Amino acid sequence: MVYHSSFVDEEGITKACGCPLLPLKSHIKGPAPLSDPADKIDIVDEAITFFRANVFFRNFDIKSPADKLLIYLTLYINVALKRLEGCRTLAVGTKAIINLGLEKVPVPGEPGFPFPGLFALPQSQQEAELFRNYLKQIREETSGRLLSCAYRPNGTPNKWWLAFAKRKFMNIIVP
């Protein structure tokens, strides 16, 4: 059974392209609101926690708009692990993740967006830029947290995480 996001209450949450811009526990500048310090987890924590279970599924039943973000982050984690696969040290892995973060982030309707039809097309250029900046911020935050999972404290790769780089999420082949 697929793990779904616990963020189903959308009251007061800004949306872009049909996706809620959920709060993050982040130090990275961007459009995401800061998470309440009382909250123990955010969507990035959920995506990393559920990744190793959800990556095995070919279909994902969407129960809330936050599940769309969970799907996007699961694929992003898969892409990041693929980049980290050949990196033998934390320093090399960090460099690979930084390079991944510098890549252009496509939004719905642009070539290269992995899930056509999952998110609504942007209604304006401002909405497209807001969504692009949110995705960029959430990808950077996910990358930083993923490094602590993919590498042990001594800087060597954690094979129990990097082995999942070979998996295809929802039958999408990661380049």
- pLDDT per position as a tens digit, 44-75: 999 999 888 888 877 878 888 888 899 899 88
Give the global pTM.
Answer: 0.90
Do the domain assignments include residue 83?
Answer: yes
Name the residue range of residue 118's domain: 15-166
Q: How many domains does the chain have?
A: 1
In a domain? residue 151: yes
Give the least confident one: 32-41, 93-102, 123-132, 151-160: 32-41
| 35-42 mean pLDDT | 79
Is 157 inside a domain boundary? Answer: yes
Identify whether 152 is part of a domain: yes
The whole-angstrom separation of Cα 4 and Cα 46 is: 9
For the domain that residue 37 is a member of, what is the CATH number?
Answer: 1.10.1760.10
CA separation for the pair 130, 119 (Å, rounded): 14
Q: In this structure, is residue 132 part of a structural domain?
A: yes
Whether residue 34 is predicted with pLDDT greater than 90 in this model: the reply is no
Percent of the chain with pLDDT over 70: 93
